[in-house]
A and B are shown apart, each in its own frame.
Chain A
Amino acid sequence: MSIHGKTLAELAVGLRNKEFSSVELTKLFLERMEASQRSLNAFVSITRESALAAAAAADSRLAAGRAGPLTGVPIVHKDIFCTEGIRTTCGSRMLDNFVAPYDATVVAKLKAAGTVLLGKTNMDEFAMGSSNETSYYGPVRNPWNSDLVPGGSSGGSAAAVGARLAPAATGTDTGGSIRQPAALCGVTGIKPTYGRVSRYGMIAFASSMDQAGVFGAGAEDIALVLSAMAGFDPRDSTSVDKPVPDYAASLNNPLKGLKIGLVKEFFEGLDPQNEKRVRDALAVYQKLGATLKEVSLPNLPLSVPAYYVVAPAECSSNLARFDGVRYGHRAENPRDLLDLYKRSRGEGFGAEVKRRIMTGTYVLSAGYFDAYYLQAQKVRRLIANDFDKAFTEVDVLMGPTTPTPAFALGAKTEDPITMYLNDIYTIGANLAGVPAISVPCGFIQDLPVGLQIIGPQFAEDRLLNVAHAYQRETDWHRRVPTAYK
């Protein structure tokens, strides 16, 4: 097998066994990244020089026998994470010239673990989008078919791993922004529990839901990276002070007796081909000794409307910091301070970001706060209660990750509601703050689709165990698009 076709876990072993050096891996993946830019546009920045220096340092540690499990492994970061001395754009004209003065905690932790940063991935502007078409740097394309979207908002990260341009990538997930593109690009992606991974240095969108996670070919790869990036951070006031288990240690636990809940609402009106892929995966779990039970989360159908009040409200507040004064885009020749604010923001933000800021401003404004914002927060409570109740009956919930496989570029840009409904199966986990993973579970007309597995808070170890057990029985996660083999 080609070296780039190996999983991150296999590459890590190969590095320790001296089958190849970190510099060799780094050059190989940098070349693949550079060669793919015209067709996929998955990167905003490629950091060749600093990557080669980091790889050489990793090789010294490997030679000296001072290597950890991730030493010398190349990775890429979503361009929402601040990287010291490296441009950090968040996919926006607003931050086109922004060079982060410090590292996000996720970046610092993965650097300390010895990973080699190859570049920053393209994304929907400020992580607002489900197709990667809102990026100021142009859309990312799907490696399985370049006429199609990769999903979003972490579309560059998902496409990069799907095309094996990098063995793993970080992402963020506020309403499905890791799981949905993972499903559409045929890779595995986890959104951890709210508060599990530090958000320090991760540019804020909706603070009560934002969470960092990771993409890899399989659950085993994710286990290695997540073990290094999760954990308490005093610099993030919503970070949870709870020990991080070694996620790799529990991957092979037997599944006998596992109780899987099938979310009734996920299957109502589901496309029959999509349902077939999910049911086939469930049959694999039954063979492994799991039992299935239908459960209902009756308030789940209100998750998309609840999200499209809460998330824009928080976004309108978070993005108030972009004022053209301290950093970011500034309009030319302002007449006065108000003109400076308005034109800097009007020019610096793209159409979807402005739409969300205005929606948020409206639902928070006097006279509408109770009817929209408070009502959405109450519905959020009902949805979270539904999850709590379900987890008293079953160990994990399963269903599809997305309603359909990847769709054509431009197909949903005219109508924001159609675009928002892509996240119909993923948003519930963000509102409830529970972890969820998308696992490749087959193809519909040569396009990958994902199985979503949702667990109770802080059950990342269980999700990775359950995902890995399936991936030992199937090879969907090892499939690579022909053009990138």
Chain B
Amino acid sequence: MTLERKHIETIAHLARLELKESEVAVYQESLSRILDFVGELNRANTQGVTPMAHPLPGLSQRLRADEPAESDRHELYQSNAPQVEAGLYLVPKVLE
């Protein structure tokens, strides 16, 4: 499997990663090799095997009563935000 430059650019876009020019070739090479390596999985006969999403048999999604469980700590949480105004997170303009 050889990934082309345009594949890396598409993957990076889907993953919302800006790559430097020098990184593109590096990832082209290493991702191609990783996909070859994991391609070994096709050796296994998995006909009729149920995919395993997690290792706990019988685990089901636990639900709690729909009641407030935490106090309002938004100011503390927003102290880690890069840009906040009037209790709101700021981002570049999305709608013109």
Interface residues of A (CB under 8 A from B): 97-99, 101, 194-195, 208-209, 234, 237-238, 240, 299, 302, 304-306, 308-309, 316, 320, 323-328, 330, 334-343, 345-347, 349, 351, 354-355, 357-359, 361-363, 365, 371-372, 374-382, 384, 416-417, 420, 431-434, 457
Name, among A195, A351, A375, the residue most crowded by chain B CB atoms within 10 Å (CB to CB).
A375
* Given known A-B contacts A305-B38, A308-B38, A378-B52, A336 and B92 have beta carbons under 8 A apart: yes
What 4 A-B pairs have minimum CB-CB distances, sorted nearest first? Answer: A433-B55, A346-B18, A377-B51, A330-B82
- Asked if A362 contacts B54 (CB within 8 A), the reply is no
- Asked if B55 contacts A432 (CB within 8 A), the reply is yes
Name B33's closest neighbour in chain A (CB-CB).
Answer: A417
Q: Which residues of A contact B41 (CB under 8 A)?
A: 302, 305-306, 309, 372, 375-376, 379
Q: What total count of A-B pairs have CB within 8 Å?
A: 173
- Asked if B81 contacts A327 (CB within 8 A), the reply is yes
Residues 53-82 of B, flagged 1 when their CB comes within 8 A of A and 0 if not, give: 111100101101000000001001101111
What are 24 pairs between A and B in contact, CB < 8 Å?
Answer: A99-B80, A101-B73, A194-B56, A195-B56, A302-B41, A305-B41, A308-B37, A308-B38, A309-B38, A325-B89, A328-B80, A345-B18, A355-B34, A357-B15, A359-B31, A362-B31, A363-B38, A371-B42, A374-B51, A375-B42, A376-B41, A379-B44, A380-B52, A457-B55
B49 in contact (CB, < 8 A): yes
- Asked if B54 contacts A361 (CB within 8 A), the reply is no
Q: Which residues of B contact A326 (CB under 8 A)?
A: 77, 80-81, 89
Q: Which residues of A contact B76 (CB under 8 A)?
A: 101
Q: Which residues of A contact B61 (CB under 8 A)?
A: 237
Q: Which residues of A contact B38 (CB under 8 A)?
A: 305-306, 308-309, 363, 372, 376
* 20 additional A-B residue pairs with CB within 8 Å, beyond A238-B56, A305-B37, A380-B52: A101-B76, A195-B56, A208-B53, A302-B40, A305-B38, A306-B38, A328-B80, A335-B92, A337-B91, A355-B30, A355-B31, A358-B15, A358-B17, A372-B41, A374-B51, A378-B46, A380-B51, A381-B49, A381-B51, A417-B34
With the chains together, A365 CA to B82 CA distance in Å? Answer: 31
- Asked if A343 contacts B18 (CB within 8 A), the reply is yes
CB distance from A100 to the nearest CB of B (A): 9
B2 in contact (CB, < 8 A): no
- Asked if A325 contacts B91 (CB within 8 A), the reply is yes
With the chains together, A394 CA to B20 CA distance in Å? Answer: 52
Contact of B62 among A99, A208, A237 (CB under 8 A): A237
CB distance from B91 to the nearest CB of A (A): 6
Q: Which residues of A contact B39 (CB under 8 A)?
A: 305
Contact of A365 among B14, B42, B43, B44 (CB under 8 A): B14
CB distance from B20 to the nearest CB of A (A): 8
Q: Which residues of B contact A375 (CB under 8 A)?
A: 41-42, 44, 46
B86 in contact (CB, < 8 A): no
- Asked if A433 contacts B77 (CB within 8 A), the reply is no
CB distance from A197 to the nearest CB of B (A): 14
Contact of B34 among A99, A299, A308, A365 (CB under 8 A): A308
With the chains together, A455 CA to B49 CA distance in Å? Answer: 24
With the chains together, A362 CA to B15 CA distance in Å? Answer: 9
Contact of B54 among A194, A330, A365 (CB under 8 A): A194
Name A236's closest neighbour in chain B (CB-CB).
Answer: B62
Name A378's closest neighbour in chain B (CB-CB).
Answer: B46
Name B40's closest neighbour in chain A (CB-CB).
Answer: A305
Q: Which residues of B contact A238 (CB under 8 A)?
A: 54, 56, 59
Contacts of B1-58 to chain A: CB distance below 8 A:
8, 11-20, 23, 26-27, 30-31, 33-35, 37-44, 46, 49-56
Name A368's closest neighbour in chain B (CB-CB).
Answer: B35
Q: Which residues of A contact B91 (CB under 8 A)?
A: 325, 337, 340
- Asked if A378 contacts B50 (CB within 8 A), the reply is yes
Name, among B40, B79, B82, the residue most crowded by chain A CB atoms within 10 Å (CB to CB).
B82
- Asked if B80 contacts A324 (CB within 8 A), the reply is no
With the chains together, A372 CA to B42 CA distance in Å? Answer: 9
Q: Which residues of A contact B77 (CB under 8 A)?
A: 101, 326-327
CB distance from B45 to the nearest CB of A (A): 9
Q: Which residues of A contact B16 (CB under 8 A)?
A: 320, 323, 338, 341-342, 345
Q: Which residues of B contact A457 (CB under 8 A)?
A: 55
With the chains together, A118 CA to B29 CA distance in Å? Answer: 42
Q: Which residues of A contact B34 (CB under 8 A)?
A: 308, 355, 359, 416-417
Q: Which residues of A contact B62 (CB under 8 A)?
A: 234, 237
Q: Which residues of A contact B51 (CB under 8 A)?
A: 374, 377-378, 380-381
Q: Which residues of B contact A420 (CB under 8 A)?
A: 37
* Given known A-B contacts A238-B56, A327-B81, A342-B17, A358 and B46 have beta carbons under 8 A apart: no
